[in-house]
Amino acid sequence: MNPAPILSLEEARRQVARWKEAGERVVFTNGCFDWLHPGHLHLLREAASLGDRLVVGINTDASVRRLKGELRPVVSLEERAALLAAVRWVSLVVPFEEDTPARVIQALTPDVLVKGADYTEAEVVGASWVRAHGGEVVLVPLMEGMSTSRRLQTLRERLCGAWHGPD
């Protein structure tokens, strides 16, 4: 099985249009996916089960730094995208530079928008756009204890003692 393609937004838009023309249901989720862990895999598996194709938006390194602080990401965009592309449920990976995936969601207009249940539907970027275009928004329950930030904090404490820097 070959890895999923990692495409620009314009290439992704064309591919999603082809899938939709073929009658396939397109699901979208996004995140930083820094230090890929079982919680991420759970989200991807659940998201993929809601349609025929799963598109994953991934924040660039600069975007992750703005959102998570100067010490992040731990894993580069190229490595994070390659790991996501290798996950069997993922059909396509699209990096984005902005802090939110709003532009990606509007360009692709997925049939289903998926986020973790640590968000409320009102907080999900793109939810109103997807619903206005006949799609649905699904919040997937999180796996307990699965957080990159929490794992990094534990690692810092074990290696350096209590650490009180940015998340």
Give 123's pLDDT tier (boundaries 50, 70, 90).
very high
Which domains are present in the chain? 9-160 (3.40.50.620)
> Among 26-30, 37-41, 92-96, 151-155, which stretch is predicted with the lowest mean pLDDT?
151-155
pLDDT digits (tens, 9 = 90+) for 128-165: 999 999 999 999 998 676 555 565 555 556 667 655 55
Better-scored residue on pLDDT, 13 or 68: 13
For 56-110, what is each residue's pLDDT tens digit? 999 999 999 999 889 889 899 999 999 999 999 999 999 999 999 999 999 999 9
pTM of the model: 0.88
DSSP the chain: -PPPPB--HHHHHHHHHHHHHTTPPEEEEEE---S--HHHHHHHHHHHTTSSEEEEEEE-HHHHHHHH-TT--SS-HHHHHHHHHHSTT--EEEEE-SSSSHHHHHHH--SEEEEETTS-GGGSTTHHHHHHTT-EEEEEPPPTT--HHHHHHHHHHHHHSS--S--
